[in-house]
Amino acid sequence: MSAISTANLTSIVETICGALTDIEAVIPSVPAGFIGIEKPIIDIS
């Protein structure tokens, strides 16, 4: 069960990071604030 939850969480994180990357490509100035949120999530996973 724990492995499935981890896989789901990783998938969610990858989706969020992918969305942030798309936003960065369109609006470079705004996502600078999101990078601080994005990095800790990546470090934890």
**Amino acid identity for residue 32 in this structure:** A
Question: Would you say residue 45 has pLDDT above 80?
Answer: no
Q: Which amino acid is at 28?
A: P
Mean pLDDT for the chain overall: 68
| pLDDT reported for residue 24 | 66
3-state secondary structure string across the chain: CHHHHHHHHHHHHHHHHHHHHHHHHHCCCCCHHHHHHHHHHHHHC
The pLDDT value given to residue 36: 55
Asked whether residue 23 carries a pLDDT value surpassing 60, the answer given is yes
d(CA 40, CA 2): 21
- How much is the pLDDT for 1? 57
